[in-house]
Amino acid sequence: ILNVEQSPQSLHVQEGDSTNFTCSFPSSNFYALHWYRWETAKSPEALFVMTLNGDEKKKGRISATLNTKEGYSYLYIKGSQPEDSATYLCALYTGGFKTIFGAGTRLFVKA
Amino acid sequence: GAGVSQSPSNKVTEKGKDVELRCDPISGHTALYWYRQSLGQGLEFLIYFQGNSAPDKSGLPSDRFSAERTGGSVSTLTIQRTQQEDSAVYLCATQDRGLGETQYFGPGTRLLVL
């Protein structure tokens, strides 16, 4: 059974701290990796989609990297703000129609 | 509307009752997924609709769960004889073009079975 692991499960940081978390996945059968942000009482929204080994994507203070050979992706947040508090979901597409989601990393940013 | 909408946003029901959850997709999106997230778990795939093709129901956890999509648009997920373990957030997502593309999620229905 294909498994997407995210760590840590939750993270508490102070406003202004930079932070990062990990998504690990089997390196075989890789097609694409998605990061989503899910704020409480809102819809998960797409942050990045990455397909190539070495891909780096950036949106404002948030960036992500991808290593398909070793099977991991990092999400970085620079200078965390309270509005960054959310669950960050990693999702792996391996072909067919299914996208396998991790359990997410829940980020709490304290002002 | 511009996004995926779901109703109700919250549902509290008694064990044994039936519930129906609705998803209104983004217009023109041919693919529609239902997921659920139980406490502390990842998103669990339930069912997938693509155009007029037969849906893939391989993720439905039991025969108490069923879903339909009328006219390739609105979808309903029905849970019969609800159990406490059915309590979860039920998310609908739609997708435009091909497989592996970004999915656009609705806000979810939070179901609590007492």
Partner-chain contact A97 B48, CB within 8 Å: yes
- CA A37 – CA A30 distance, rounded (Å): 21
Nearest residue in A to B34, CA atom: A98
**Residues of A with CB below 8 A from B45's CB?**
98-100
Find residues 24-83 of chain A whose CB sits inside 8 Å of chain B: 31-32, 34, 36, 41-46, 49
Partner-chain contact B42 A103, CB within 8 Å: yes
Interface test with A, best of B5, B41, B96, B103 (most A CBs within 10 A): B103
Q: What is the full per-residue pLDDT of chain A (111 aa) written as tens digits?
A: 678 999 999 999 999 999 999 999 987 777 899 999 999 878 899 999 999 899 999 999 999 999 999 999 999 999 999 999 999 999 998 777 678 889 899 999 999
Handedness of CA A79, A39, A50, A65 (dihedral sign): positive
